[in-house]
């Protein structure tokens, strides 16, 4: 008998629609809020740098529900990073910042979960970050709000609570590289396509979570995301 293979991309819920957003790639921007860049040991406005997570690292969480995330193996220091996520609806290469919004389908709130102890060791050795950043379920994400409904948020509170205590708080206006610039620069390196997600960096206050913790993130005018660490 011939073996059959099939792959189904993760589908992220789209607010106000029965359709899902099929994930093609997950790009992430590092150190995009000044205060967080400082807590990670950098200074000033360096060119943005990118890393990726596999598409199936996405952990879609429907609105009003709490997504269960398994505590990943090989770490004793799992960190939360709450981020604005851009969902690409129209692809392109060498996109100009001035026309970047035309390529964005919508926005969501996401968590760039990180095995910080592994990342610290990889940084020290100058090695790639994949095992620290691209593990299974490392990208919880809430429903995508179409830009047609909410516009393109350039400011607004972004925050994360753990068990009801505030851990991270920032404002989208404090991004070092703003969304159109990120789309423009990323599209110089990769041809963007519908289904791509871009995690745009996290504000200060990253820290560890443990089994049993409940994470609640929110971004003004974009939505909220609830995840329980199992
Ligand atoms: Mn991040």
Q: pLDDT-derived band of residue 2, with 50, 70 and 90 as boundaries?
A: confident
Residues with CB under 5 Å of ion ligand 1 are 81, 112, 202
The Cα–Cα gap between 160 and 206 comes to 9
pLDDT of residue 53: 98
Rounded distance from Cα 3 to ligand 1 centre (Å): 38
Residues constituting the chain: 230
Rounded distance from Cα 5 to ligand 1 centre (Å): 33
DSSP 8-class letter at 35: H
Helix (H, G, I), strand (E, B) or coil at 100: helix
DSSP E strands, the chain = 11-13, 20-22, 25-30, 49-53, 58-60, 66-69, 78-80, 82-88, 104-111, 114-115, 139-141, 145-146, 157-162, 165-171, 196-199, 207-208, 214-219, 223-229
Q: pLDDT-derived band of residue 47, with 50, 70 and 90 as boundaries?
A: confident
Rounded distance from Cα 65 to ligand 1 centre (Å): 23
Rounded distance from Cα 129 to ligand 1 centre (Å): 12
DSSP 8-class letter at 214: E
Condensed to tens digits (0 to 9), the pLDDT of residues 9-20 reads 999 999 999 999
As a whole number, mean pLDDT of residues 59-75 equals 97
The Cα–Cα gap between 205 and 44 comes to 18
The Cα–Cα gap between 211 and 26 comes to 25
Statement: residue 23 has pLDDT above 70: yes
Condensed to tens digits (0 to 9), the pLDDT of residues 151-196 reads 999 999 999 999 999 999 999 999 999 999 999 999 999 999 999 9
Statement: residue 43 has pLDDT above 90: no
pLDDT of residue 44: 65
Q: Is the CATH number 3.90.850.10 carried by domain 18-229?
A: yes
Statement: residue 51 has pLDDT above 80: yes
Rounded distance from Cα 57 to ligand 1 centre (Å): 14
The Cα–Cα gap between 66 and 89 comes to 26
User: Domain map of the chain by residue range?
Assistant: 18-229
Condensed to tens digits (0 to 9), the pLDDT of residues 81-126 reads 999 999 999 999 999 999 999 999 999 999 999 999 999 999 999 9
Q: What percent of the chain has pLDDT over 90?
A: 91
pLDDT of residue 174: 94
């Amino acid at each position: 008998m011939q073996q059959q293979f099939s792959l189904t991309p993760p589908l992220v819920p789209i607010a106000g629609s029965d359709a899902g957003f099929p994930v093609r790639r997950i790009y992430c921007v590092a150190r995009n809020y000044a205060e967080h860049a400082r807590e990670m040991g950098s200074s000033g406005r360096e060119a943005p740098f990118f890393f990726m997570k596999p598409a199936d690292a996405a952990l879609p969480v429907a609105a009003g529900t709490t997504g269960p995330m398994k505590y990943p193996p090989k770490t004793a220091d799992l960190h939360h990073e709450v981020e604005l996520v851009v969902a690409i609806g129209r692809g392109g290469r060498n996109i100009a910042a001035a026309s970047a919004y035309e390529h964005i389908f919508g926005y969501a709130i996401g968590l760039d979960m990180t095995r910080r102890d592994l990342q610290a060791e990889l940084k020290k050795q100058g090695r790639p970050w994949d095992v620290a950043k691209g593990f299974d379920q490392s990208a919880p994400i809430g429903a995508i709000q179409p830009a047609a409904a909410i516009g393109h948020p350039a400011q607004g509170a972004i925050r994360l609570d753990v068990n009801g205590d505030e851990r991270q708080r920032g404002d989208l206006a404090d991004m070092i590289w703003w969304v159109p610039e990120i789309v423009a620069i990323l599209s110089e390196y990769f041809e963007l396509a519908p289904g791509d997600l871009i995690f745009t960096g996290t504000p200060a206050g990253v820290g560890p979570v443990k089994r049993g913790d409940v994470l609640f993130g929110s971004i003004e005018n974009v939505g909220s995301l609830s995840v329980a660490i199992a």
